[in-house]
């Protein structure tokens, strides 16, 4: 199995403030990584650095052996769902129009997407179970439907790495569980490498293959249950960690002590 992402001694500064410090880890192709930690702990900065959208102060990032910038220029290796999507509520875009945006890299500059691109967009909607919404206006959809359509857009570009920043925001608990099951299915069916930022360490440990615990420094990377160690949790969230966890996770913590 090849290495999808390799990060070595990554440090990132924004406005002279260190937001990531000496972060190192590798992720094998086809695995599902959860990235957890407190607000302002550097989670979004990490994925933006992997995407080539943030320049490191020092250290290196390689994605399938190449720099993130090379992937951005040469191919559509990444599918990305940002935490906040800036789509004007008054913009009259249909669902299929939104998903076609994911084909722009494959179609090439200054070329309108053709039949092949439309077929791929519709297949991506079908994979996400929302093909019946193709003609609906995107801004009229529920939060859960919008998330599925946005992932269909990311998948339409045939990515090797799918990066999701807080994808379950705005979805109820039942919807979140269905959503995570869907991601696991995509991982297996498409051999996708998935990196997902989440604030919900309790739920994430159930679905991911590996977890990275980040609060400027990387305090843990490995088996999800290892993240429930009291020392790791205290490093991330401080002493009152029980207030941030679901009761079932607290029970797991007790079993690990």
Distance between alpha carbon 189 and the CA centroid of its chain, in Å? 17
Q: What percent of the chain has pLDDT over 70?
A: 81
Say yes or no: 166 and 251 in one domain. yes
Say yes or no: 96 and 219 in one domain. no
252, 77 Cβ separation under 8 angstroms: no
d(CA 127, CA 247): 33
Say yes or no: 115 and 230 in one domain. no
Say yes or no: 180 and 245 in one domain. yes
Q: What is the pLDDT of residues 202-241, one digit of tens each?
A: 788 889 999 999 999 999 999 999 988 888 888 888 875 6
- CA distances 177 to 93, 94, 167, 222, Å, are 28, 27, 12, 22
Say yes or no: 66 and 172 in one domain. yes
For the chain, the domain total comes to 2
Say yes or no: 108 and 230 in one domain. no
Length of the chain: 257
What pLDDT, on the 0 to 100 scale, is given for residue 199?
Answer: 81
Q: Give the domain range for residue 210.
A: 1-77+161-257
Of 163-167, 198-202, 250-254, which gets the smallest average pLDDT?
250-254
* Domain end point (choices 158, 185, 203): 158
What pLDDT, on the 0 to 100 scale, is given for residue 176?
Answer: 74
Checking if the pLDDT of 245 tops 70, the result is: no
Q: What is the pLDDT of residues 129-159, one digit of tens each?
A: 999 999 999 988 988 888 889 999 999 989 9
What pLDDT, on the 0 to 100 scale, is given for residue 166?
Answer: 87
Q: Looking at residues 153-181, what average pLDDT do you find?
A: 81
Checking if the pLDDT of 89 tops 90, the result is: no
What pLDDT, on the 0 to 100 scale, is given for residue 87?
Answer: 67
Say yes or no: 39 and 102 in one domain. no
* Domain end point (choices 158, 188, 210): 158
* Domain end point (choices 98, 128, 158): 158
Say yes or no: 93 and 150 in one domain. yes
Of 86-90, 98-102, 116-120, 174-178, which gets the smallest average pLDDT?
86-90
102, 124 Cβ separation under 8 angstroms: yes
CATH number at residue 203: 3.40.50.300
Say yes or no: 94 and 53 in one domain. no
Say yes or no: 16 and 137 in one domain. no
Pairing of strands 17-28, 3-14: antiparallel
Of 12-21, 110-119, 159-168, which gets the smallest average pLDDT?
110-119
Say yes or no: 180 and 253 in one domain. yes
Q: What percent of the chain has pLDDT over 90?
A: 52
For all residues of the chain together, what is the average pLDDT?
A: 85
Say yes or no: 104 and 130 in one domain. yes
Checking if the pLDDT of 86 tops 70, the result is: no
């Amino acid at each position: 199995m090849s290495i999808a992402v390799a990060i070595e001694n990554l440090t990132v500064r924004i406005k002279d403030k260190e937001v990531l410090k000496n972060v190192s880890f590798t992720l094998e192709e086809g695995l599902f990584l959860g990235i957890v930690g407190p607000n302002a702990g550097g989670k979004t900065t990490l994925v933006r650095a992997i995407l080539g959208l943030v320049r490191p102060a020092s250290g290196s990032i390689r994605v399938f052996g190449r720099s993130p910038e090379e992937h951005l220029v040469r191919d559509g290796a990444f599918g990305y769902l940002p935490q906040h999507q800036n789509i004007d509520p008054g913009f009259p875009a249909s669902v299929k129009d939104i998903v076609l945006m994911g084909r722009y890299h494959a179609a090439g500059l200054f070329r309108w997407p053709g039949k092949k691109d439309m077929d791929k967009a519709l297949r991506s909607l079908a994979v996400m179970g929302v093909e019946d919404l193709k003609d609906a206006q995107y801004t009229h959809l529920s939060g859960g439907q919008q998330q599925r359509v946005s992932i269909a857009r990311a998948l339409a570009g045939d990515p090797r790495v799918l990066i999701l920043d807080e994808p379950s925001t705005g979805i109820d608990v039942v919807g979140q569980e269905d959503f995570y099951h869907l991601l696991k299915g995509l991982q297996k069916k498409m051999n996708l490498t998935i990196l997902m930022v989440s604030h919900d360490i309790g739920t994430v440990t159930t679905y991911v293959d590996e977890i990275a615990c980040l609060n400027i420094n990387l305090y843990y990377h490995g088996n999800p249950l290892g993240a429930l160690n009291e020392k790791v949790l205290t490093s991330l969230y401080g002493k009152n960690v029980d207030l941030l966890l679901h009761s079932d996770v607290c029970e797991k913590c007790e079993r690990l002590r």
